[in-house]
Chains A and B, each alone.
Chain A
Amino acid sequence: DAKTTQPPSMDCAEGRAANLPCNHSTISGNEYVYWYRQIHSQGPQYIIHGLKNNETNEMASLIITEDRKSSTLILPHATLRDTAVYYCIVRVGGAQKLVFGQGTRLTINP
């Protein structure tokens, strides 16, 4: 699986959009981009995934660049409950395991 690079930490004001970047410059054509988050003392929570196209669900939007070498997770109106570690993972379609990196620790400030 391709390696991902994320900033170790970010801050965002409550109510604003949180934009979390992820670099995956060695991504292959059959690798998906997944985002999970982990709130303190809980298991990781699936957020969203995509292959080429931008994706949106009730939690977030995923923007993937045309060359697929980077992506951005957008939380449109961040709340204090969005404070968590966010993991960007690249995974081959059909592969069983997720390879987690260190993630980005996002802090939402009041």
Chain B
Amino acid sequence: DTGVSQDPRHKITKRGQNVTFRCDPISEHNRLYWYRQTLGQGPEFLTYFQNEAQLEKSRLLSDRFSAERPKGSFSTLEIQRTEQGDSAMYLCASSLDLEGGYTFGSGTRLTVV
């Protein structure tokens, strides 16, 4: 296991369509995070899972966004009825404990046209 994997790397979608992204964390990491990053800005926290439980959600995560981690392993982030403002890099990260650093994936770049 070489790190956090995200799929797809790039996604272009038409406004109004639904999209789903997948994240495979490092296998022994029980904590998983989603972040969003727009051009020129630092990543912004979206949500956090410990095992399969979603323990925190940002106000950025509108009702069009939903994240799951059904078996405490991989996670999916779905955006319904995409808008142009959803265009961003969506980053997934995982960690083993609370103090240590996160390992981030390379992200999924979403472009809504």
Contacts and interface: CB of A to CB of B under 8 A. Distances in A.
Summarize B's interface: helix, strand, loop or mixed.
Answer: loop
A93 B103 CA distance: 17
Q: Which bracket fits the contact residues of B?
A: 20 to 34
A45 B104 contact: yes
Contact of A96 (B44, B56, B101): B56
Interface string B43-70: 1110010000001101000000000000
B110 to A, nearest CB: 14
A98 B41 CA distance: 14
A93 B91 contact: no
B93 interface: yes
Specify which of A43, A46, A87 lies most central, judged by the most chain B CB atoms within 10 Å of its CB.
A43
Interface stretch (A60-68, A75-83, A100-108): A100-108
Given A42-B106, A43-B106, A44-B91, A97 B101 contact: no
Interface string B78-113: 000000000000010100001111111111000000
13 contacts: A34-B101, A42-B106, A42-B107, A43-B91, A43-B105, A44-B43, A44-B93, A46-B102, A85-B42, A94-B99, A96-B48, A98-B102, A99-B45
Interface of A: 32, 34, 36, 41-47, 49, 85, 87, 93-103
